[in-house]
Structure 1
Amino acid sequence: MRLRLLAFAAPLVLLGACGSAPKPDLEARAPQAAADTPYGMFLAGSAALNQGRSDEAARFLDMARLGSGDEALVTERAFTAALMAGDVERAAALAPDGPDASEPGKRMGRLVQAVEALADGKGKPAQALLAGDAIGFPHRSAAALLAPWAAAQAGDVEGSLVRPQVRGDTLVDYFGQLNQAYLFERARRFDEAETDFKVVTAGETPTELAVLAYGGFLERRGRRPEAVALYEAGLQRNPSGVALQAARARAAGGKAAPAPPTVKEGAALALLAPAATMIAAKQGQIGLAYLRLALRLDPQRNDAWLMVGDFLQAGGDVEGARAAYARPKPGSPEFPAAQAKLAWSHQLAGDKAKAVELARRAAASGDPDARLTLADLLRANEQYEEAVQILGGLIGESQTPDWRLYFARGSALTQMDRWEDAEPDLLAALKLRPDEPELLNFIGYSWIDRGERLQEAMAMVERAVAANPRSGAMVDSLGWAHYRLGDYKTAIEKLEQAVELDAGDPEINNHLGDAYWMAGRKDEAVFQWRRVLTLDPDAKIRADAEKKLASGLGPEAPKLAEQK
């Protein structure tokens, strides 16, 4: 039975860097024949930069720059490496300039210098660097959003209240107004601040940043009941929002209101939306650069650290990712998510014992999200009994359990061959989330695999496939339904499509072999079952494939259970 783990960790928020990552033995990685030459250092640094090893790249390229007779050759690469590694101060000193520097390098360099000036409290130089059109595409939006904060630091109150404008840029329109609201509050023009806050939180799906911003403003104005209502509305849209949960608890408990952002904190916040936009647009290097700049201004932005970790993890820099995930401190809203990501990084690296150890340590605090992460890791490591106990506790404690809790417990019970207990959980999840593709597929596949309620199951799987036509697992479920119904021709069509979508899945390949066999295509079936054994199948699938190969009899013909 194919079981999919749910992603229970808190959503990513933004990224930043980890200069604290352990330093590798750089010289050992350099091309041996040329490691002691400037050109060799340049090649090694360029390779490290291309592979996402920013700290290493910065070291090599700085050595190349110092030893090269043509300093301009490597200065721009060294600037980029320093920025990617999070050494913004160094990057500002290396900012490309002069006739030999590229125009994109100059634009980014000017933005970096402006942020470094803000970080040093030098508002007037920052304001000058951000003025005019010197920082053009693709950094115009980031510069426009930073400019009011630079004006505020320079003491130019009226300049700080000018809402930034970039023609056709809805991101600047929205987040420029959010920043303007903060700056109106800073200028003690509270009515105008509230007008802006109301605009950015209007509509059906305001951003969480805007809701938290307006809620904080209401708390500071002594209007806690309104703040609580605003946070609760946000939690109805996103029940798992940890920052919203913390804000609601604070406001409802009468605790001190959050302080408005300082100039540096506001400037860091202004960079988050452009960073997220660049990452979403597959401009990851620029997105990471913006996050590094945001963290130079506000090193305590845990959401940015989580995004940095995600970015580095995806790029293969596991140690750097772990260093980023380690930044949020216990007690912060982001700590459970950070610990979850840290534990999963060890799980993905094959260190399952360390992953569970970290998850247990976080879960000992009693935090529901941390306990959920532990349950998810236990399921991943086939420790279903304990996972079921944890999930049962979480369900029992919640007045309105999340559908995913029922789904997770139901999937664990299914794996324990306790279908009579699993089915009610899965149907409870379906009642709460009737259109969820993963859930529709899981229940449909479970019925199909058991030979039960096949017409209903097929309809569910068809809905799942319609929602996710590129999912090999879901297309496989549909093919397996046709197989169970004895329609081997259609089953083969669907299962071949599923293999194309997910060629390395041993269960899909095993299903295709069975369909080939039942259609009389026995040589192709044997090929598929042999392929299954090369794809690291679990014990059950391996045993099934080996049995069919050894006996030469193929699979048993499908037997349909009585329809319920």
Structure 2
Amino acid sequence: MRLRSLTVTVPVLLLAACASPSAPGGGGLEARSPYGLFLAGQAALNDGESRQAADYFERATRSSETTSLISERAFTAAVLSGEIEKAAAMAPATEEASEGAKRLGRLVMAVEALASGRGQAAYDLLTTQEIGFPHRTAAALLTPWAAAQAGDMQLATRRPDVPGDKLVEYFGMLGQAHQYERVRRFDEAETDFKALTEGADAPPMLVVYHGEFLERRGRRDDAVALYERAMAVYPRDVSLNLARMRALAGRSPPAAPTVRQGAAQALLTPAAAMLAARQSQFALAYVRMALRLDPERMDAWMMVGDLMGAAGDVTAARAAYGRVPAGHPDHAAAQSKLAWSLQGAGDIDAALETARAAASGGDPVGLLTLADLLRTNERYEEAIAPLNELVESSQSPDWRLLFARGAAYERMGDWPRAEADLSAALALNPDEPDILNYLAYGWIDRGERLEEALAMVQTAVDANPRSGAMIDSLGWGYYRLGQYDKAVEVLEEAVGLEAGDPEINNHLGDAYWQVGRRDEAVFQWRRVLTLEPDARIRADAEAKLASGLGPGATAAAAQAAAEPVIPALVR
């Protein structure tokens, strides 16, 4: 079972697909015509290669045969590839252009105006004609920053208002707090910051912004108290920990955001909302615009990496993660994401090398990634060291770390240590189905504490009634108790849910044999051999088929070739 750091993984909703040439980059007649270039660009866009798509579409627009559709695609591809200046120059504005493209075009032009220091032009683009759905939120949050750049601080400090839009209501207050600080209206700024962070579970990002404001006002003790209050709810939040250590050390806090930095933050808010709504194309567009305003925004580069990786553009994803420099708080997280990208591409040595580098400074994210990658690659003994470091450095026991270490010990065949860690994890989280199933299966397969184990697995199944792995554990418990008819009933249900799992099929074959359904048992064991079983399961099935005597008579032979027994949950 993987214990991975949170990563955004949602499919990128690119433009509607259409037929594409077999070789988009070829130099044939089709690739030289406007329509051929359009098809090549569409294919590249559908493959997540937005920069290549932008090149194809831009070439297509040079022809007198260019259509409104090609122009819109060229504009969209330029936005998604981060070429905001180019996109602003080709923003759709003709009557033939779709309304959606024109709305996004006005937003892009406003961002480019802000990036170029033309605040009044940006303000006019955002306000002269309303930018409607789905970009209304982004436009509303950007408007005060455009006013600030234009020098109109009365408009800049006015909180944006979009009736019914909670994002504008909430994050408009954050922008207002920063604007108040910029014009030295500190009491009003603090009122806004307090309103944003008054709850015990206020988001860490907002707590950090409030704390930085207090530090800039020379109130370090108040800032530390604010950070520590939030850390009671979010004890492992990196941003809170770093802010607290900085304040305690008396180091200077970050400066108040500039206009461009504040405008970039304003765009990341609707980007996150679009991600949550699975509108990844819009999310990527907003993040690209935020980076045009603030190219040093490392959390934005991390989002680009996640989005491009989900779109299938591994090269662009890795390049984005690589933008986060060593020494930055997000460096270990970025390297961890890069390591998983390499693992997904099958470059295991590079993945582990990257993960080891990320973990070398003791960063918890790097250590967890290294341990998880080692376990994924079945290098369980090596995984113990980073897991030990994580467990020992934790201020309070973390059941997930104990569970991960227990699973690694179990895979190594060290059941006493595995049992100790799994039992400790269960004591910390007694209702967690994964722990219940893992620990109980270990007992069941060893013929220990069967009644207790069966009750634990039943609790896990009640919580996850569609888990074939957990239902298999339940069926195997009935088998170990000698309740073979019940075992057959439950294991048939497990196979129905996980038809391709070799161990579940093997268990069902054993249960069939015990109730006298010998032909069906033989069929199940033969099927096991077609499902790429591990060495232990293969040896067991082959021994039963060769002897013709069933599971009991071949137990000794199977045990001789056995590897550590693994619950079906983690196969």
Cα distance between partner residues in 2 of 1:295 and 1:332: 17
Cα distance between partner residues in 1 of 2:69 and 2:358: 48
Aligned to 1:65: 61
Aligned to 2:387: 391
Cα distance between partner residues in 1 of 2:153 and 2:9: 31
1:6 corresponds to 2:3: yes
Counterpart contact for 2:547–2:554, Cα < 8 Å: no
Counterpart contact for 2:10–2:278, Cα < 8 Å: no
Report the alpha carbon displacement of residue 149 of structure 1 after superposing the two structures with TM: 1.3
Aligned to 1:228: 224
Q: How does 1:493-532 map to 2 (within 5 A)?
A: 494-495=490-491, 498-499=494-495, 502=498, 504-518=500-514, 525-526=521-522, 528-532=524-528
Structure 1 runs (4+) deviating above 6 angstroms are 13-16
1:205 corresponds to 2:198: no
Partner of 1:237, secondary structure, is coil
Counterpart contact for 2:11–2:310, Cα < 8 Å: no
Report the alpha carbon displacement of residue 335 of structure 1 after superposing the two structures with TM: 0.8
Counterpart contact for 1:15–1:305, Cα < 8 Å: no
- Pick one of 149, 166, 178 that aligns with 1:170: 166
Paired residue total? 546
Cα distance between partner residues in 1 of 2:160 and 2:462: 42
Aligned to 1:107: 103
Counterpart contact for 1:31–1:44, Cα < 8 Å: no
1:449 corresponds to 2:445: yes
Report the alpha carbon displacement of residue 516 of structure 1 after superposing the two structures with TM: 4.8
Aligned to 2:358: 362
Report the alpha carbon displacement of residue 236 of structure 1 after superposing the two structures with TM: 2.6
Cα distance between partner residues in 1 of 2:148 and 2:405: 52
Which segment is superposed worse, 93-102 or 127-136? 127-136
1:157 corresponds to 2:153: yes
Judged with a 3 Å threshold, the aligned counterparts in structure 2 of structure 1 residues 182 and 538 are, in CA distance, closer, same or farther, namely farther
Partner of 2:289, secondary structure, is helix
Counterpart contact for 1:343–1:355, Cα < 8 Å: yes
Which structure has the larger Rg?
A: 2
TM-score by length of 1: 0.88
- Pick one of 419, 422, 427 that aligns with 1:423: 419
Report the alpha carbon displacement of residue 269 of structure 1 after superposing the two structures with TM: 1.1
1:337 corresponds to 2:333: yes
- Pick one of 351, 370, 375 that aligns with 1:374: 370
Cα distance between partner residues in 2 of 1:487 and 1:120: 76
Q: Could you give the per-residue CA deviations for residues 463-504 of structure 1, whole angstroms, max 9, x where no partner exists?
A: 444444454444444444444445556555655555555555
Aligned to 1:19: none
Q: How does 1:11-22 map to 2 (within 5 A)?
A: 12=8
Aligned to 1:317: 313
Partner of 1:35, secondary structure, is helix
Identity across the alignment (%): 60
Cα distance between partner residues in 2 of 1:291 and 1:54: 14
- Pick one of 229, 243, 250 that aligns with 1:247: 243
Q: Runs of 5+ in structure 2 lacking a partner?
A: 13-21, 556-571
Report the alpha carbon displacement of residue 6 of structure 1 after superposing the two structures with TM: 1.0
Cα distance between partner residues in 1 of 2:173 and 2:36: 49
Cα distance between partner residues in 2 of 1:133 and 1:516: 73
Judged with a 3 Å threshold, the aligned counterparts in structure 2 of structure 1 residues 420 and 181 are, in CA distance, closer, same or farther, namely same
Counterpart contact for 2:544–2:554, Cα < 8 Å: no
Report the alpha carbon displacement of residue 129 of structure 1 after superposing the two structures with TM: 1.3
- Pick one of 213, 237, 258 that aligns with 2:254: 258
Cα distance between partner residues in 1 of 2:431 and 2:336: 27
Q: Runs of 5+ in structure 1 lacking a partner?
A: 17-25, 560-564
Cα distance between partner residues in 2 of 1:231 and 1:267: 25
Which segment is superposed worse, 275-284 or 478-487? 478-487
The amino acid of 1:350's aligned partner reads G
Partner of 2:32, secondary structure, is coil
Counterpart contact for 2:461–2:467, Cα < 8 Å: yes
Q: How does 1:90-101 map to 2 (within 5 A)?
A: 90-101=86-97
Counterpart contact for 2:11–2:311, Cα < 8 Å: no
Judged with a 3 Å threshold, the aligned counterparts in structure 2 of structure 1 residues 555 and 359 are, in CA distance, closer, same or farther, namely same
Which segment is superposed worse, 319-328 or 372-381? 372-381
Report the alpha carbon displacement of residue 449 of structure 1 after superposing the two structures with TM: 3.1
Judged with a 3 Å threshold, the aligned counterparts in structure 2 of structure 1 residues 209 and 397 are, in CA distance, closer, same or farther, namely closer
Higher RCO by CA contacts (8 Å cutoff, separation 6 or greater): 1
Cα distance between partner residues in 1 of 2:152 and 2:40: 46
Judged with a 3 Å threshold, the aligned counterparts in structure 2 of structure 1 residues 438 and 321 are, in CA distance, closer, same or farther, namely farther
TM-score by length of 2: 0.87
Counterpart contact for 2:371–2:384, Cα < 8 Å: yes
Aligned to 1:274: 270
Report the alpha carbon displacement of residue 515 of structure 1 after superposing the two structures with TM: 4.5
Report the alpha carbon displacement of residue 382 of structure 1 after superposing the two structures with TM: 2.1
Q: How does 1:545-556 map to 2 (within 5 A)?
A: 545-556=541-552
Counterpart contact for 2:271–2:282, Cα < 8 Å: yes
Report the alpha carbon displacement of residue 511 of structure 1 after superposing the two structures with TM: 4.0
Cα distance between partner residues in 2 of 1:81 and 1:549: 59
Cα distance between partner residues in 2 of 1:122 and 1:488: 78
Which segment is superposed worse, 368-377 or 243-252? 368-377
Report the alpha carbon displacement of residue 246 of structure 1 after superposing the two structures with TM: 1.2
Judged with a 3 Å threshold, the aligned counterparts in structure 2 of structure 1 residues 414 and 96 are, in CA distance, closer, same or farther, namely same
Report the alpha carbon displacement of residue 530 of structure 1 after superposing the two structures with TM: 4.7
Judged with a 3 Å threshold, the aligned counterparts in structure 2 of structure 1 residues 49 and 557 are, in CA distance, closer, same or farther, namely farther
CA RMSD of aligned residues (A): 2.9
Cα distance between partner residues in 1 of 2:208 and 2:286: 22
Q: How does 1:81-92 map to 2 (within 5 A)?
A: 81-92=77-88
The amino acid of 1:238's aligned partner reads Y
Counterpart contact for 2:11–2:278, Cα < 8 Å: no
Report the alpha carbon displacement of residue 29 of structure 1 after superposing the two structures with TM: 4.1
Counterpart contact for 1:10–1:242, Cα < 8 Å: no
Cα distance between partner residues in 1 of 2:493 and 2:298: 42
Aligned to 1:238: 234
